[in-house]
Structure 1
């Protein structure tokens, strides 16, 4: 078991230390900004005293200051090959756990007398390492989870039986609508070769929607899709105006009283080519000038937890730092 000194006592240290203990002998901890606490589990080592200790590796837990701390350690006489990142250490933890688990399984199978287990002996030919999932949470709750749930619940509560969608996730949002008993017609510039019960498909350029008559749709969504238009990412033509052409086409095809459900990246307006555009919510509201805004909500990261802030003030998000997901419902006048 390698002897390591952990450098950096922030959140990343606290989140990882119990895992690191399983793979390493932690001989001490160090930090540039730390008042020694005699109750700490490990011995505190001042940075300029690290070289006086016996260790195999110095593990820098900080990602942001990795380069700066590395230079500090090099100047103290520590070799570069003896400095590793938290990510490198976690890879070692994963591999060591895999080998321990594998050896334990083989040992237990040697003693097993369960006849149904005969075909489940370890065979190197079928080894299939999945290494890091044991460190992860039970599920991922991200912006897509919340936007899909938000959209599906509102469409279900609207009472519509038929809905149109432009480019949203089939394995999340569209599946929610189908389970709710709503017929969905998907529209996308890319082909869809699989048949899905209660789901139709229209291959179309959504910047024009030429196959869709004026004022013919009561309910339409586009969740995390319109921001990509015109950037070539999905095989569409490069066109700086494509998203605004799509905004206009959507308004054209909506019936009076019909509703449009959108999610878009919001914040200080800029382009991240060829991934997406980030919109000011005011730009979106102004562009949908034939419709009335019914709801504006935002998916926020609060204390490292994603939450929907309902009925938010769009003006507060015109120039906000970072990127959020804005949720819009418009109604045709």
Structure 2
């Protein structure tokens, strides 16, 4: 064939695996990963969450073994969710000194002091009604809830949590928690705000794992409408103004445009939460032999990094850490 016109040869940089590695723009590292853990009361409890193969509720006595595995894999951060036996209308178990997350935090920091412990700061796992705050007149009372959330954050910091991660989506939660932490002497403890948390259908398996399904109504009055983009910017702007140190977008996969909006508009670390429903769908498809799980998961998490995430909270953290080691051998 002659007289071929001049055109760009983009394929030159894709010719071999080594060439593709050389020019790759986005990379996934172990240090990008945060592993969620569900801590329960009792002894010798290792109960798999039915809708989340490979994810377990663990009792405190088995926590050391799990943390040892994470440290060996090179995972440096965990986020803790507590599942108490006893619940009440105020969510008292969230802020008592011997709460399940407080006990787990102390155990982890004693065993592996370098492990970053992020404490999820919410009431839904601890309330008898399953909502993220105090109920008045069959509705969540925003301001009354803030006082209890502040107490929870201070209790978690006293137990040794490195980062407080409020997920309740009450108005003003960052300001109130920041003030409470500062007054208690925890000025050095950062807040990883669930700044943009949508009322998503992807949370179903998590509510099985955390036993936090609302007993009435839903959370649409305090979590965001999935249709809204500008609202996400308003929410994040408020949290930054109030003192947030990280901004979480939850869920991640269907909201990569929002992850990019956060990256473009704010100079704080952006965290993508690869949620339970996203995990469960991949696991189900993999068990049926419909997908290549490793390839799909790596592509999915890379898309979150490419969209602008600095960190990823993901139930795939242990798998990804193993795959990264295999790749670099």
Taking structure 2 as the reference length, the TM-score comes to 0.27
Higher strand share: 1
**Structure number, greater radius of gyration:** 1
Structure scoring higher RCO (CA < 8 A, sep ≥ 6) equals 2
Give the structure with the higher percent helix.
2
